[in-house]
Amino acid sequence: MPYVFEDYRDLVVIERVEEADGVVSIRLAAPSGERLPSWDPGAHIDLKLGNGVERQYSLCSHYQADTWRIAILREPESRGGSSYIHDNIKVGDTVTTRGPRNHFPLVDAPSYLFIAGGIGVTPLVPMLGEVIFDKAAPWTFWYGGRTRASMAFRDRLESLGAHIWPQDEKGLLPLEQILSEAAPDTVVYCCGPGPLIDAVEATCARLGRPAPHVERFSAKQVQTDGDGGDHEFTVVVNSTGAEFTVPADRSIVEVLQGNGVPLMTSCAEGVCGTCETKVISGEIVHRDSLLSEEDREEGIYMMPCVSRCKGDRLVLDL
């Protein structure tokens, strides 16, 4: 479901913990103390920061807890998101959030294999909790990071039986071995840096395994040459019948927002899912880093910040 505009929520920071080198977690609660809405593992929230920047962070508390927790890695190339949180957010501050929202849900499966890289561990922590304590299903968890000291939640995961794999001690995660040893019907979840996700996807494909469930923090390289989206087309707002021309060099979001059509966006890169929009008719050219192959084949939703139309007309459920 797309966001609704009233979805913003001011929350109070009630705890701040240095979880690992460069990783801080903050716990958020309602100012009134009332219980925050529940969510499913894999969900994220948007954080609207005091400097005007908006970023998405996976929830990593227990999904039935009264409060929410997120963990933030200080990015060396931070453009005002992670560095702002590390340097400015303290207990007692109020932050504006939106969501939760889940594009990375845990499906039912006979067994699970989790592959985490660095801060990509965050959505997988509550997933593992659900698999162990609610589903009681067999699982394997591999967690790679630069160094032991940089790996948030390492001790707890290790005590549960996860494989901890610091790169400076053991090298890269042995993906070929990990994925070869998993039963054919084991469902694979991966979150981490783009190269790790690319390698897991490629190894699954090479071994004839189904595609893994992945969540990316940044846009993947999308091959757009020859995908049929580089032309002008018409976009129709179904509720009003208004029609707008989308030139080859502008996105649907740019055109709609430029004409006063309210459409929520955040990353503008096809990563976060904030702009997800239902398509009533027209063929979509998907250029996001989010939807699965099955989602794309269904052709019901698109990310209009990056995706386009194959034909000359796209009718959106707006």
Q: How far is the CB of 220 from ligand FES (least distance, A)?
A: 13
Q: How far is the CB of 290 from ligand FES (least distance, A)?
A: 6
DSSP category for residue 59 = B
Interface mask (CB under 6 A) for ligand FES, residues 257-296, using x and -? Answer: --------xxxx-xxxxxx------------x--------
* Among positions 246, 305, 314, 316, the unique one binding ligand FES when judged by CB under 6 A: 305
Rounded Cα–Cα distance for residues 308 and 53 (Å): 26
Contact flag: residue 150 with ligand FES (CB under 6 A): no
Contact flag: residue 137 with ligand FES (CB under 6 A): no
* Residue 158: its H or E element: helix 154-160
Computed from CA positions of residues 60, 105, 11, 74, in that sequence, does the dihedral angle turn out positive or negative? positive
Interface mask (CB under 6 A) for ligand FES, residues 96-125, using x and -? Answer: ------------------------------
Q: How far is the CB of 210 from ligand FES (least distance, A)?
A: 24
* Among positions 162, 303, 315, 316, the unique one binding ligand FES when judged by CB under 6 A: 303
Which residues, including other chains, have CB under 8 Å from residue 81's CB and lie 6 or more apart? 47, 49, 53, 55, 75
> One-letter amino acid identity for 106?
L
**Contact, 59 vs 43, CB < 8 A?**
yes
Q: Is 68 exposed, middle or buried (0-12, 13-18, 19+ CB in 10 A)?
A: buried
Q: How far is the CB of 78 from ligand FES (least distance, A)?
A: 18
Q: How far is the CB of 90 from ligand FES (least distance, A)?
A: 28
The phi, psi pair for 91, rounded to 5°, reads -60, 135
Number of amino acids touching ligand FES (CB under 6 A): 13
The residues of the shown chain that bind ligand FES, judged by CB under 6 A, are 265-268, 270-275, 288, 303, 305
